[in-house]
Amino acid sequence: MSTPPPPKRQWSWRSQAFRGLVYQILAIVGLTIAVGYLMSNTFANMRARGIQSGFDFFLQPAGFGIGESLIEFDSSQNYIVAYLVGLSNTLRVALVGLVLATILGTMIGIGRLTQNTLVKTLCASFVEITRNIPLLLQLFMWYFAMTELLPPIEEPLKPLAGVFFSKNGLQYPLPVWAPGHWGTLIGLCVGIGAWKFWSRHVKQQFEATGQVKASFLPGLGLFIVCGVIGWLAGGVPSELDIPEITEISVVGGGSVTPEYLTLLVGLTVYTSGYIAEVVRAGIQSVSFGQHEAAVALGLKRTQELRLIQLPQAMRVIIPPLTSQYLNLIKNSSLAVAVGYPDLVSISSTALNQTGRAIECIALVMLIYLSLSLITSAIMNIFNRRMRIKDR
């Protein structure tokens, strides 16, 4: 039996597809003309008032310092480097916040479904408090705690050996880089591969025989063992830069400022309340028959969550979880309220010095738009991989 020929396109006004294409082209042309007119009118008015415009100021010396940065910055460097420092500071708090908020939110969301009344009540209270107090007020509260309630730098808290926690922030030991650390990194990469291979083996065996084996702890053990072997092969580099307390400050080691800790804790706590509700709703969307089947198979509660409920709930969890990730990244712009030099803070300083308001604001909007689109693309890929496929 021969297949019918594909339908031919009808390029006439009676064709709905043709009319839709024409309307879209007209809409794009109209929007382009409107935007071009607004930009031309804006630049003409700026020139008439003697207001400079353009992005040439990026190559000029910034003329200001940045108190906290991963990239070394000097006031003689240009604005491009200053923006890169601000972007690195934004990513520094956003990426760590995403990981911590996901872990904390998942634990609280699962805790809301336990039979333990105390745990369930505490988790519910956490969610209601964090979701109903504005983030800006929470940041002010955490900043007050970091700068007023902690002890002074002369008498810091010492939770661990070589770790100091005070109004000056958190100081901690930092490994001194040596060529032997390459062996450790290679060992850790091999450990990740071994962990993934073991997890896949356990999953295949479970699907084939129904026999459940531990996956997390053996995989973690393989990861640690491979890292230790790489560390030994690299010559056992073990030199640490340990902070030391002096009469007026703590010197040496690594450190994070109270402003960074305030923003990180505030974003983590606030976002975790929303993630907890997403996780709770996702787990409850799985039919109760799945729980009954798990009980019939003799699975423990942790095994039921890890092997049955969470894999099925991910298709419900991931889309709203993506929205919360985007909110956390955008909410990091509130760093200016607590004095953390993020992208918005540095852009505001550049705006005040150069007067290029349109350029500075447009660049910040473009960067945040790019970060949001990249995050959405990554989560969409993850969502497709976690999608339940029909056999």
Judge contact between 384 and 120, C-beta under 8 A.
no
Rg (CA), the chain: 27
Q: 164 and 158 in contact (C-beta within 8 Å)? A: yes
pLDDT at 7 (0 to 100): 55
The alpha carbon dihedral of 265, 268, 271, 272 has a sign of: negative
Q: CATH topology for 79-152+257-386?
A: MetI-like fold (1.10.3720)
Give CA torsion, residues 67, 72, 73, 74, to 10 deg. 100
Ranges of residues in the chain with a pLDDT under 50 are 1
Residue (of 312, 270, 345, 277) closest to 98 by Cα position: 270
pLDDT given at position 390: 54
**Among 71, 61, 67, 117, residue whose Cα is nearest residue 92:** 71
CA distances from 23 to 18, 33, 34, 36 (A): 9, 15, 16, 20
Contact 266, 186 (CB under 8 A): no
- Please state, in angstroms and as integers, the Cα–Cα distance from residue 282 to each residue in 237, 315, 320, 387, following that order: 45, 8, 10, 14
**Region of 306 on the Ramachandran plot (φ > 0 left; ψ -120 to 50 alpha; else beta):** alpha
98 contacts 325 by C-beta, under 8 angstroms: yes
Matching residue, tokens 């062996």:
183
Taking the domains of the chain in order of start, what are their residue ranges? 79-152+257-386
Alpha carbons 10 and 186: distance in angstroms, whole number: 60
Residue keyed to tokens 């930009």: 39
What angle is formed at CA 241 by the lines to CA 235 and CA 246, rounded to 5 degrees?
A: 160
Question: Are 174 and 238 spatial neighbours (Cβ–Cβ below 8 Å)?
Answer: no
Cα(254)–Cα(244) distance, integer angstroms: 11
Residue identified by tokens 């799945």 is 290
HSE-CB for 183 with a 13 A CA cutoff: 15
Determine the Cα angle at 112 with ends 110 and 116, to 5°.
105
Identity of residue 269: V
DSSP string, 217-234: HHHHHHHHHHHHHHHHHT
Residues 6+ apart with CB under 8 A from 238: none
Asked if residues 313 and 283 have their Cβ atoms less than 8 Å apart, the reply is: yes
Q: How far is CA 116 from CA 107, 111, 275, 283, 308, in A?
A: 14, 9, 21, 17, 21
CA 318 to chain centre: 14
